[in-house]
A = this chain, B = another copy of it.
Amino acid sequence: MTQPTTTLALALRDGGYAKAPTPQVPDSLAPFLDLRDVPLPGLAPGQVLIAVILSPVNPSDLFFVQGGYGQPRVQGQAAGFEGVGRVIATNGADALIGQRVAFLGTGTGAWAKHAIADAALCIPLDEAVSDIDGAALIVNPLTAVALVERARSGGQAFVVNAAGSQLGRLILGLARDEGLTAIAVIRRPGEEDALRDAGAAEVLVTSDPAFRAQAAAVIKAHKPRVLLDAVGDQATADLFFAMPSGARWVSYGKMSDDAPSLTQMGQFIFMDKHIEGFWLSRWLPSAPADRVAAVVAQVQTRFATGTWTTRVATELTLDQAIDGILPAYATSSGKVMIRP
């Protein structure tokens, strides 16, 4: 089979980083993406060419296309961090030919008919894992496993905000399975029971007038020492300062445009508190390979047995994506999927 030299893709209009801080969600994707044919370079050793089946829209994708993510854009290259597809060519990884794999768009992006990926980061899929679950098998599930590991290092109980998101629910389920006490924080009421079903021991709603009093009581009862934060607003900072000595605020996302204030700096000194970050792209290369392999196997088993499922907001074709992603993203906590 001859390898294609171009592919249809949602291509980045600009390269590098944004010149100013970016919002979590832009007003429109049209200034950032362009549907067109882009060149497919030859495969370097260890790379595979994938016919993409399905690719999700993650919050990190929206930061990335705006230039607000931790790695620079390459002008004219496809966006899209992960997906599921079939390997149709390789340079030195022949065992993967014809396999359906979950992949990271490390060579070229996943929002395209074809993508180039590193064979070492491709995960061959069991038949029992659906395309939908396979498309979102890497970024969120590996992040969930790594974050729960970090939470466990702080003790029995932890706090997780944006708990209604796909990633939040993965974290809650993992926490329950591992016997940890997860305190879920959401912005608006309505999903409390669903989150308890998903694994939350407690649910706090930041828009509730009694939020502070309820948070104080829950913190007193469970003494959580890790705060897994995808929001980064003042309510997050207030929760952190209400937590006991030794508490760690672990920022892994920034869904709010707030700049939270450090109202009690003395707690860093006298209560040994910390603020730190988590980024999958840093954790993955630094994690031991056997640990990553074990995590990947665990993640795949959870999807194959139905313990975890990926909730889908909608599926869009490439030519529907630029106009369709943001409206679907705004109205559902499920994943928006692109089917190229």
Contacts and interface: CB of A to CB of B under 8 A. Distances in A.
A274 interface: yes
B279 A70 contact: no
A139 B271 CA distance: 19
Nearest to A278: B269
Interface stretch (A39-47, A180-188, A258-266, A299-307): A258-266
B232 A265 contact: yes
Number of copies of chain A assembled together: 2
A-side interface size class: 20 to 34
A272 interface: yes
Contact of A266 (B70, B275, B278): B70
A16 interface: no
B274 A275 contact: yes
Interface string A258-302: 011111111111111111111100100000000000000000000
- Interface SS of chain A: loop
B279 A269 contact: yes
A147 to B, nearest CB: 12
B277 A268 contact: yes
A274 B264 CA distance: 16
A329 interface: no
Interface of A: 21, 63, 68-71, 232, 237, 251-254, 259-279, 282
**9 nearest CB pairs, A to B:** A70-B270, A268-B277, A269-B277, A259-B261, A275-B275, A232-B265, A251-B268, A259-B263, A269-B279
Given A70-B266, A70-B271, A251-B265, 6 more contacts: A68-B266, A69-B270, A251-B268, A260-B261, A262-B262, A270-B279
